Structure 1
Amino acid sequence: MGIELKDVSKTFEMKNKKVEALKPTDLIINDGEIFGLIGFSGAGKSTLLRLINLLERPSTGSITINDVSLDKLSEKALRIKRQKIGMIFQQFNLIESKTVYENIEFVLKASKFDKHKVKDRVKELLELTGLSDKINTLPKNLSGGQKQRVGIARALANDPEVLLCDEATSALDPDTTKNILRLLKKINQDLGITIVLITHEMEVIKEVADRVGVMSAGEIIEMNDVYNIFSHPQHEVTQGFVQDIYDFVIPPHIQESDGSQVITIKFLNENAEANYVNQLYRHFDLEISILNGRIEYINEMPLGFLMLHVQGDTGEIAKLKTFIDDSKGIERAEIYG
């Protein structure tokens, strides 16, 4: 069960030139998980998302959702299957002349939903998305967050197995983004719907995803659970995304030398909440200053970073580094510039 791509690629022909938007890709997205795809513009993430529901036909390979091979379906069967693949768009895609109720009703009527149950289904979706008081409101009188909630309600109308989110929060302010992400997480947890979301913001991945694939130049260059991506990024593109989140840079007035060094420490799991700096003060005859520090909670697991400026005897600094290296669940971290 879930989503499986086998040797899937996509090449476009543009002005007598072939553009390989997605290189041959194998990918399994587990049933019921939130899977994120992150990359810069042109990385291929939108193409991959649109291949999942065959809005784009693959140049090679096969796509399977819950044991059904989409690329082998007739056009009629594919249209029916797409009703179980909801899609949320960056620009909401609402019908401006229709009320909130009518926008959701339109989707249900188009799928030939039982007309006797339409009213109750719309009300159920409005309650789920927190829009019950906006039932007769036109889109022009809604905030961006409310418009996206209507978009989510529409995507959920036909009780989908999969929800595809195409930069669903990039047009929203930070507070509204967090509210929409909380709603998506609640939908995933309460309804068990598999969610695939694409974004160029690592903060979005951190908030909701279980696993993430990092894309660049038409391929997935790194994939792991979100905690490991943040704690041990491998590819330089991934390291850049992580650095953007933590924004750890050595202050320009700090000059490193033999007796003055900047050391960044990474705290994993429960160690992120330990009062570790006091141990360093007690054990070493050094002047230790905190330059920066942050604890994140990723899938409810803490991950901490601490940047220290250490001054004193070179040999004593070397002993401090060895002490850190020997500490369980604590590592010296690189700063990706």
Structure 2
Amino acid sequence: MNFYSKIYQESGFSKYWTQTIFWLVFYALNFYFSPDEISLSKALLWSGGNTLIFIIAVTINLKVLLPKFMLRQSIFSYLALLIGISLLLTPFITLFNVWIRNDYATHNHNPLVQAHFHFINLVIVTALSSLVRIPLEWLKIQSEKNELIAKNMETELQSLKNQINPHFLFNTLNNLYALTLKKSDLAPQIVLKLSDMMRYMLYECNESEVYLEKEFQYIENYIEIEKLRHASESQITLHFDPTLYTKKLAPLLLIPFVENSFKHGLQASLEKSYIDIQANCINGFLEFEVTNSKPPSMPGIGLAPKTGGVGLDNVKKRLNLIYPDQFKLVINDQPDYFSVSLKIKLKDSPND
């Protein structure tokens, strides 16, 4: 469909020449089938007159009748108008032909017979012009709709992506602030990690897809920052399948799940808090799972906690926009743990 849409959306100059060539061919065919008994000059005139009347019929059809038909979806009104225009033009083309051939009029050139013949030809040619134009108009409308949908999706995706940056920055600056209050020597390390992460967000995440190796590095930097401010007894397990490194995915889709796990999984009220992050490649699918401990007194943390739920709500919207019907998201909210499992079909890099 895109190929034919491009054909339709050709420049005005190209359309002009296409129509000109068509009518020149039409004129040539008229001249070729002109009556043998008329002179060359009259054959040229006969062909030109017939072509002109057909141009008028087709132009009225395409510029006036067809747009009204397509707008109102009234086939019967359109056919009535088409027949009416053909009837209106039939006397002109008939009289023109009688005038051209008046010196050779016989019973074979009866004006009534000619009128019937020209009327049928006018109806057929104008109807054929509609059969050509209707699919092209439909393609044009579909192309415009697809462009509008794509623009709306791009705008919404950009808006959602823009929400991620301040959300992450807000959380990290809170961490940095807590360490500076303690006058911790770890603050400079956080600043360096934060610098790497911001560089990735500013220069890499403008692409529609990024290599998972870079996305995983971003997650590792985030985890390192979180480790600096959490108790050493917290257990954090991380595994990334190396075969995923050359695969591509929309940027910043995975980090909200990790952020959510740190927010709820490492609570001071938990004796043994843990977070387990696994990313594996199975049969061409990314299977990403994050499991974290949860205080028994915290029912249903879900994907939209009361505060700070921007990231997870955001990622669900992005998944629906970028990978409609191509992903599976499973939430398992138990009394003592919470897990999120995401499965997405991956694309190979061009070099694979």
- Is TM > 0.5 for Structure 1 vs Structure 2? no
Give the TM-score range, shorter chain. under 0.3
- How high is the TM-score relative to the length of structure 2? 0.23
Q: Which has the higher strand share?
A: 1
Larger Cα-atom Rg: 2
Structure number with the bigger relative contact order (C-alpha 8 A, sep ≥ 6) is: 1
